[in-house]
Structure formats: structure tokens, C-alpha cells
Amino acid sequence: MKKRSAIVLLNLLLPLAACNPNPRPTPEPVPRPRPATALALEPSAAEPFDYYLLNLSWSPEFCHSHPNATECSQHSGFVLHGLWPQFNNGTFPENCSTEPGPSNPAAYSDIYPDPGLLIHEWRTHGTCSGLSPDAFFTLARNAFHSVAIPSTLSHLDHPISMPPSQILDLFTEANPSIPRSSFALSCGNNYLTAIEVCLNKNAQPTPCGPIRSCRANTVRITPP
């Protein structure tokens, strides 16, 4: 089946500029979060989904076709795209309720400076989590912070190419508490678009199951 991130990118609203007709895919960029105090979260074990897919988009692919976007002046690398409930059979729930999003979206401007994207992520994915808006976005923020970016990619200053397996090796080495089976890599036309991490409902690593990594021989990575 299609990669989970590709399906979501094709269905994002045009005003959010999360999909692009150009050959290279364009994930929605968001500045890297700052540390934040965690809320006490209860696991949503009764919710009818199996695990979360944490999508960390490589923002230079968005900035390639949107160079004048405000976010691009920050020259970010990996940014939070979303935390998405998934089923073990490879499908996923969407738009599970009409519950309104957080009363103060600005509280999450560190991870979603575009309020429109925050609203989209809540309506499409957060409503399926069984969590309140504040608990959901705090969980997303904490999950994002839990993934260390390899120094090879966090300090990239020139284009490089490497096999997907090598990129996943870098993430496994930088995150010894996350097994290789919990990582997946997304690409489009041999360009890196995202790293994905499979997490259980307590935001702990879990095997990705049906989520497949990019099958390109080599992946091109452009610097921020």
C-alpha cells in the first residue's frame, strides 16, 4: 500500500501548501520545538487504533518550491509534521469527531506556527486519539523531542546522497533506545522527505509493522 505520509500529504488543504504538483514532494515546514513542561497524560488504550506514526518532515523539500515562505527563513532541518493514529492492518482513522481544537493555539506555536496546520492536524488526526487537544499536542511535542537528529544531518551544509539503510543506521545510532524496527524513511523521486517513528499510545517505540521505508537505491538530501 502507499506510504502513510504520502497519503496525508496529498490530502492536506491547499492553503496549507502541504502538497505540491512539482516532481519533488513538499512537506509542511514547522520550526523545531523548544523544550516544554510535559503534562500528565493518560494512555488512550480504549481508542480503536493501534499505534501512532510520528512524521518528521525534512523541510528543505518544502522550501525548494516555496523559497519565500516565512518558515524557510529559519533554515530548519527536520520539523514536526504530525502524530497520526494508525491501524496494524495499514489503514488509519481520520476526522473522528467535530470536537474543537485547543482554546489557545499559540501555546503550540513552537511546533505549529501556522494555526491552520494545527487545526488541520487536530481535525484529521488528533480527534482520533481519544485525548484532549492540549494532551494530544503535548504528546506530539514530547514525541518530537524524544527523537535525536544525527549530527550528520543536523549540521548538513551541502547536498549529500546515501542509501536509505545508511540514513536509518544514523538514526538508530543516535537513538539507542529506539529499535531499528521503529524507524521508517519516506522519499519522493529519490529525495528525502521524512523520517517516521512508530510509537505506542504512551509514545514509546513500537515496531512499524506495515509501514515501509523508501526503496530507492540512494536518497538525495539537500541542506536547509
CA distance linking residue 180 with residue 47, whole number of Å:
26
C-alpha cell of 157? 551544509
Element (H, E) at 54: strand 51-58
Beta carbons within 10 angstroms of residue 85's beta carbon: 24
Q: Does the annotation count 125 as an active-site position?
A: yes
- Taking the C-alpha atoms of residue 214 and residue 50, their distance in angstroms, rounded to an integer, is 23
Catalytic-role residue among 28, 66, 120, 125: 125
Region of 130 please: left (phi>0), alpha (psi -120 to 50) or beta: left
Catalytic residue among 28, 61, 71, 81: 81
Q: Which of 28, 61, 71, 121 is catalytic?
A: 121
Q: What is the dihedral of CA 77, 18, 200, 135, to 10 degrees?
A: 90
Classified as helix, coil or strand, 86 is strand
Sequential DSSP letters for 107-133: GGTTT-SSHHHHHHHHHHTGGGTTS-H
Please tell me what DSSP assigns to residue 144: H
Active site residue 99: no
The Cα–Cα gap between 30 and 83 comes to 14
CA gap 188, 218 in Å, rounded: 11
Catalytic machinery residues: 81, 121, 125
